Every structure is written in C-alpha cells, then in structure tokens.
Amino acid sequence: MAARARPRWGHPIITAATTLLVVVVVLAIAARFAPWELPIGDIVVRSRPELIHAFPPPDPDSLLTAGRRHDVDVDEQTRPRNVIMVIGDGMGIGQISTASALLHGIGGGLAIDTAPVTGLVSTHAGNELVTDSAASATAMATGFKVPKKAISILPDGSIPVTIFEAAVAAGMSTGLVTTSGLADATPAGFISHAEKREHYSDILRGMLASGTELLIGGDWAAHDKAPRDADFQEMLGRIDDLASNAGYSVVRDGAELRAVEGRVLALFPPRGRSGSAHGPPLVEVVDFALGRLGDSEDGFLLLVESEVTDGRGHANDIAGVTEGIRELDTAVASILAWIEPRGDTLVIVTADHDTGGLGIVDGDYDDGVAEVRWATENHTGQWVPLFAFGPGSQSFNGVMDNTDIGILIAKLLEIEDFPAIHP
C-alpha cells in the first residue's frame, strides 16, 4: 500500500521555519514594551521602551502667539532701520557644530561664530512636537502657531498678517532670496497664504500680489511634486505676462538679474539634477539684494534662505550639509561686512527646524578623522540656534519660541498692531 503524501504545511522543515517566524514576530512585538533583548541565531530582538514617553498636552491657547519673549523691553537708542533674516532650512545645532569642526577645526571659524548675541528657539508646530517648514515659517512670520503644512492660515480659516505684509504697509521695502523653489514652504510662509504648502499656484499668486520688490528663487523645473500641480504649471507657462501685470520683470539667470531694473521675479534653474538648490551662489544674489534695497528711504526687510542644509540633511549627506553651511556662512560674512560701517541693520541667523539630528560622536586628534552620525532622515523636535548682530540684537538673547521672532522684529521696527488678523 502506497504511503499517503504529507501536506506541505506538515513538512518538518516548513513547520520549524514557520514556528521560528511566529516566535520572532511575537518577540519583536513584545520587545516594543519589555526591557530586554534575546538572541535567536543571528537575530537579536531588542526592546526600545525609551523611545516612547508621554508628555503633557499643550494648552489650547498655544495656537495663539505661544512665545516667551513678547514683553521684552526695547532700547529706543538701538532700534534698527533695516532687518535681514537668514534662515538655514533644517540647520540645527548639530549641523552647525559639525560643519564648523570639519571646515575649520576645533577652534571654529564660521562668520556666525562671531555673533555677539545668541539664543535658542523652540520649533514645535500647532499640532505636533516635530514641525515642518510651513508651520515653522508661519510661526516666525505671523506670531501664530498653525498645524503642519499650513501656510499662514489658522485652523479656523482666518488669515494672519505676516511680518512682510506689515512691513510693506509701513512703507518699508522688502525682498526675498532663496535657493529653493520660490513657492516652497519657508519663503511662502513669510509672503503668502495657502491652506496647504502643496498649493503652489495659490502661493505664487499671493507672492505676486504681495508688494515684495525682490522675489528671487528657483523655477522648480526639477521638483518632484510641483509638476503634479497642473494649475502651477499653467501659471509658469504664462509667468511673464502674469509678472508684467503685477509690475515685475522676469529673469532666469545671474546676468539678467544684474541688468534688470525695478521689481524682480527671478526663477532660476536648478544647479544640478537633484533640483535641491537653484541659481548662482547665494552670496552673489544676496549682494545684489543689498545693493538694490540698501538705500530704501524707509528701511527694508530682507529674507534670505538656504535650502541645501535641509535637502542634504534628509539625504544624510554630511558633505552636502557642510558645503551648504559653507555657502550660507559666506553669504552671512558678506552681509556682516555690509552692515558694519552702517550701524543701522539687525541681522538674525536661525533655522526653521533641525533636519537629521546630526552629531559628532568621535574624533581623534592623531588621525584628524571625525565620526558623525544621524538620528533620522526626517526633521527633529530639537531647539535650533539663533545668532543676532547689530542694533536690537539683545532682544534675541536667551530661549524663545519661533513665534517670538516676528513679534520682536515688529516691535523693534515700531510696527504697531502685530500680530494681527486680516479683516
């Protein structure tokens, strides 16, 4: 009599493998909550209970001007006439300290190292501990906390006044310089309004209607998301006419930029295939902006953003981050040389958030090699540094929330009724 074939699931090897897999899965789930580790052959199941911690829920009023420094007294004798705000996107303390060590050694040597006033800035969004660029830019620009992805629009639909809108209303000249796409979240939060950061066409329309004299950024031709926005692409197809109707001249390279007069809309191509940075070196564009805005009768407000530190931080690219900080710091050095003989300009260098959680974990003086590590490929909830130069800089000393920044700038410039909501 022929032997009966065993079912496949009953084969000893398959059964053993299945059992082992089930055990590993069960142990992995248990390890999520139990403080132990167990080797299983070449597999080690580790618990990470330290990753999970409860924290107090925020006050519901934290969506409204949640800062710490609103009552800072301002020295009437040291008010600035102009304000330059430099943002390294994703540029946390770890990025700066690591880049400084790799570029200059343990003694440092970055221009931002010379800041007479330093501070620390908390960056949480209105709905999460870890922010994105949209919520952080909105907080700095308006004084209000908003949920992630919102561009200067509150959860109830009301629209706060941005520090750029307030400056324009006060008669000041304004300008924006970014190495990112012009409609990206960080520049957008200061100058425009949109329910979501992906609403690029709404953002660009708002920028053209903002009254900002210099709008200098990337065309986003290589951006992975922008091409999906058909309305945005249609706008770019007729941007020359739209810009002309708004009083802007469109330029697409550095030579055109230097030759143009009046209001400028610069849409630079990406520097490389990654599309993460656009246009000429940042210092060249910043020098142009200072030359154009420097003699403004009623003062100016200039925003300068470098996106490289965020893009390369997401990629955990230490060489790219280091080069990004070098580029930003070169622009800062040029700004400091420009303001030094004038004595009338406040410069603030900070970040919208940290990206990557970068840190130096080892470094041997004998071989001159440093070991660096990343905590994540995403943003973190770490505080970010702030460096301040010039009149009014003392107002930014100490620990503050990102909502404090725009409010303090408005106070220093004697812009009344800020923060505020559009009627």
pLDDT of residue 261: 92
Same domain, residue pair 44 and 123: no
Q: How confident is the model at residue 218 (pLDDT cuts 50, 70, 90)?
A: very high
Q: How many domains does the chain have?
A: 2
Same domain, residue pair 47 and 172: no
Q: Is 406 within the bounds of a domain?
A: yes
Indicate the range of 20-29, 126-135, 266-275, 390-399 predicted with least confidence.
20-29
CATH number at residue 172: 3.40.720.10
Same domain, residue pair 322 and 191: yes
pLDDT, tens digit, 9 for 90 and up, residues 160-197 = 999 999 999 999 999 999 999 999 999 999 999 999 99
Same domain, residue pair 33 and 104: no
Q: What is the DSSP string of 364-376?
A: ETTTTEEEEE-S-
Rounded Cα distance, 99 and 120, in Å: 19
pLDDT of residue 5: 43
Q: Is 299 within the bounds of a domain?
A: yes
pTM of the model: 0.87
pLDDT of residue 2: 43
Same domain, residue pair 181 and 43: no
pLDDT of residue 69: 67
Q: How confident is the model at residue 325 (pLDDT cuts 50, 70, 90)?
A: very high
Rounded Cα distance, 150 and 133, in Å: 9
Q: Is 2 within the bounds of a domain?
A: no
pLDDT of residue 148: 97
Indicate the range of 28-37, 203-212, 335-344 predicted with least confidence.
28-37
Q: Is 281 within the bounds of a domain?
A: yes
What backbone torsions phi and psi does residue 242 show, to the nearest 5 degrees? -60, -45
Range of the domain at 36: 12-51
Rounded Cα distance, 244 and 369, in Å: 54
Same domain, residue pair 269 and 335: yes
DSSP state of 396: G
In the chain, pLDDT over 70 holds for what percent of residues?
85
Same domain, residue pair 186 and 282: yes
pLDDT of residue 51: 72
Structure tokens that stand for 41 in this block: 């052959």
Same domain, residue pair 36 and 171: no
In the chain, pLDDT over 90 holds for what percent of residues?
73
Tell me the average pLDDT across 206-227.
90
Amino acid in position 314: H
Same domain, residue pair 98 and 174: yes
Query: Is pLDDT at 39 greater than 60 in this prediction?
Result: no
| Axis crossing angle, helix 200-208 with helix 230-237, rounded to the nearest 10 | 40
81 or 225, greater pLDDT? 81
pLDDT of residue 26: 62
Q: Is 1 within the bounds of a domain?
A: no
Same domain, residue pair 76 and 103: yes
Q: Is 56 within the bounds of a domain?
A: no
pLDDT, tens digit, 9 for 90 and up, residues 45-86 = 555 666 778 888 777 665 666 677 666 677 666 799 999 999
Rounded Cα distance, 233 and 243, in Å: 15
Same domain, residue pair 375 and 406: yes
Rg of the Cα atoms in the chain: 25
- Calculate the average pLDDT of the chain: 89
pLDDT of residue 223: 79
Q: How confident is the model at residue 41 (pLDDT cuts 50, 70, 90)?
A: low
Same domain, residue pair 191 and 130: yes
Q: Is 421 within the bounds of a domain?
A: no
pLDDT of residue 32: 53
pLDDT, tens digit, 9 for 90 and up, residues 137-151 = 999 999 999 999 999
pLDDT, tens digit, 9 for 90 and up, residues 264-323 = 999 999 987 656 799 999 999 999 999 999 999 999 999 999 999 999 999 999 999 999
Q: Is 420 within the bounds of a domain?
A: no
